[in-house]
Amino acid sequence: MRALLPLLRTGWGWRTAPPAAAFLSRGRGAGPGPHRAMAFYRTEERGQPYSPSYRLFFKNVAGHYISPFHDIPLKVDSTEENGIPTKRARNDEYENLFHMVVEVPRWTNAKMEIATEEPLNPIKQDIKDGKLRYVANIFPHKGYIWNYGALPQTWEDPHRKDKSTDCCGDNDPIDVCEIGSKVLSCGEVIHVKILGILALIDQGETDWKIIAINVNDPEASKFHDIDDVKKYKPGYLEATLNWFRLYKVPEGKQENQFAFNGEFRNKAFALEVIRSTHECWKTLLMKKCDGGAINCTNVQVCDSPFHCTQEEARSIVELVSPSPNKESKEEDTQQVWHFLDK
């Protein structure tokens, strides 16, 4: 069955259109800012947590398995409600809403990441030299100092040299440091506002770090650009720079380096980087470039040569051992639409 939703090719490129039945009507006179709960993603655990076999798969609102790398839209989109195009204005704040897939909750050490080389790209714990990977505590912090994750439908092309850093990409989705006050969960899919970006150079590769905030954070309305982080969270950017500089030193490696002398770039710069990595992802999904070992299996990019059916996706998941001593666990990990003023 291929009754999957086509992609809209407008603006930022390709967005998966949500089912009209999933939309909730808005009150009369509602502005562009507030969001209501409309749809959600769910996760399903396979294998034992903190083991090499552990995988966290994703499902959409219809209960179909999807890839968090390829099937979750990059941009938050609300062009229709109950099948009717909306007429509200689209301001800069609305245009700055993106989906983020949370891989590592704040204050934790296990290096969880989207498995880019596996079908449907579940989240797994990284393994190095045959051992599960944990990041060291960088004094005075415990684990990651933000909720850490990735923007879906982006790809830092390892064969494409970035003009601003003079280095090629690191072959991953673009990373996000979410600086809100809440500790999120692995597998949550949230809406974030982009605030700025840091250019980490890791072993000669460009490894962009987006600075963003959950739109449902109590203080989100204060933050619009990178200078607001300096104003309302003094010391946070300095701590971020120091963390990324030192976090591999306990493994016996050298300190990491940065482009732009370690200066954070603003929102406008970050949005251009995101746009560029989204274009790279599109060429990847259409097999117009060398993706190497990247697995592009997807369920909703209907004109991609890597597209698979819902039944094929389910078969992929069923090949992975279920969680021991319990039935497959599903969790509603995200309500996509919320009111910003709640």
- Alpha helical stretches, state H, the chain: 92-95, 226-232, 236-246, 267-285, 310-318
User: Which positions ≥6 away from 92 have C-beta within 8 Å?
Assistant: none
The secondary structure of the chain in percent helix, strand, coil, rounded to multiples of 5, reads 20, 25, 55
Quick check: is 290 in a domain? yes
In a domain, residue 231? The reply is yes
What is the domain extent for residue 136? 91-295
- Number of folded domains in the chain? 1
- Report the amino acid identity of residue 172: D
d(CA 14, CA 248): 36
* Gyration radius (Cα) of the chain, Å: 19
Q: Taking residues 171-196, report their average pLDDT.
A: 97
Tell me: pLDDT of 82 over 90.
Answer: no
255 is a domain residue: yes
Residue 277 counted as domain residue: yes
Residues 18, 318: Cα–Cα separation, whole Å: 26
Burial status of residue 219 (CB atoms within 10 A of its CB: 0-12, 13-18, 19 or more) = middle
What pLDDT digit, counting tens, does each position of 43-80 carry?
999 999 999 999 999 999 999 999 999 999 999 974 43
pLDDT of residue 8: 29
Residue 218 maps to which CATH number? 3.90.80.10
Distance of CA 336 to the CA centre of its chain: 14
Contact 192, 224 (CB under 8 A): no
Give a yes or no: residue 47 inside a domain. no
Token representation of residue 185: 């969960």
Is residue 95 in a domain?
yes
- In a domain, residue 266? The reply is yes
* Tens-digit pLDDT profile for residues 255-285: 999 999 999 999 999 999 999 999 999 999 9
Rounded distance between C-alpha atoms, residue 42 and residue 330, angstroms: 6
Tokens representing 280?
Answer: 């790279």
In a domain, 114, yes or no: yes
Higher-scoring residue by pLDDT: 234, 38: 234
Please tell me whether the peptide bond between 140 and the residue prior to it is cis, using omega within 30 degrees of 0: yes
**CA 91 to mean position of chain CA atoms:** 23
pTM over 0.85: no
Other beta carbons within 10 Å of 166: 10
